[in-house]
Amino acid sequence: MTAQSSQLSIAPMMAWTDRHFRYLMRLIAPNIRLYTEMVTTGALLHNDPKRYLAFSSQEHPIALQLGGNNPEHLALCARMGEDFGYDEININIGCPSDRVSVGSFGACLMAEPTLVADCVAKMQQSVKIPVTVKTRIGIDDYDDYAFLQTFIKTVQQAPCQTFIIHARKAWLKGLSPKQNREIPLLDYNRVYQLKKDYPHLNIIINGGIKTVEEAHTHLQQVDGAMIGRSAYENPFSWAEDPNLSRKQVLEYYLEYMTKQLEAGEHFWPMAKHLLNLFNGLPGARAWRRTLSTRVQKDNDLQAIKDALMIINNL
């Protein structure tokens, strides 16, 4: 990967992009931008913020993604994020889950661009770091380019300079979040057109990007590319240093785990992110099987080192 790595980012993914996985990805890709899982304003306002916002200093550059629809609450949470040291605050206008829709935030807010603009404006007023928006190209039957344009034109006046566009629309009824990642057709050209019509905006494309080569193809048309599930399913494919080995990454990560265990962290929430580290190599299946059986049962770092012998002996 070239210096263009700074134009790449890893999407916020619930249950996946926690701080342990982000640390692992930082070992693999020092320049790629990292995003937290979506954190709702309710979670931050009614619980200890450290539970959701703590991260390692090595994770920079890192963005906090918030979910909510109340401008004042979002502003308070954005300030919390800035105080914790995040480099960017992102608002989720793309999640199609029923739980999120019932709370009247996520993708359903595409139908209320004025409210989104107000949310962004309040957040911008409360922090000095950038506030960005992640959204879809449409929702339900509101899926033509004019609808997307209205949303972008309204929200940019907040002001908002950066839009991350998942190049699929979201069906808010009838499809699960998983189906919403697969069934609505990708329309990259619509995102490209946004960049042409709004050249002053920072447009980042998201959705279905599986390889470095695909990401760089998109970078010829837009300002950035956000990688989703492919980063979790094959993390080492995004390595920036050709001299870096997976075994080196594992050694560094085990050092991290050791320190975290000493600080009271639980074993498996960290170890599980290693399942896909050797994807694409002989023995990868045996590695995953060993980690998800013996390692998960024993909660022992030595079990991980023993599992590595599977790879070494092939």
Q: Residues 259, 48: contact at Cβ < 8 Å?
A: no
Distance between CA atoms of residues 62 and 65, nearest Å: 10
Q: Residues 249, 27: contact at Cβ < 8 Å?
A: yes
Residue 244, token pair as written in the block: 């870096």
Q: Which of 267, 263, 261, 259 is nearest to 303 (CA)?
A: 267
- DSSP letter, residue 277: T
Q: Which of 37, 69, 73 is nearest to 53 (CA)?
A: 37
Distance between CA atoms of residues 188 and 219, nearest Å: 12
Selected catalytic residue, list 77, 95, 108, 119: 95
Q: Residues 32, 1: contact at Cβ < 8 Å?
A: no
Phi/psi at 266 (5° precision): -85, 150
Helix, strand, coil % over all residues of the chain, rounded to 5? 50, 15, 35
Distance between CA atoms of residues 237 and 242, nearest Å: 11
Helix/strand/coil for 78: helix
Pairing of strands 202-206, 224-227: parallel
Distance between CA atoms of residues 96 and 293, nearest Å: 33
* Active-site annotation holds for 108: no
Cα 183 from chain centre = 20
Catalytic machinery residues: 95
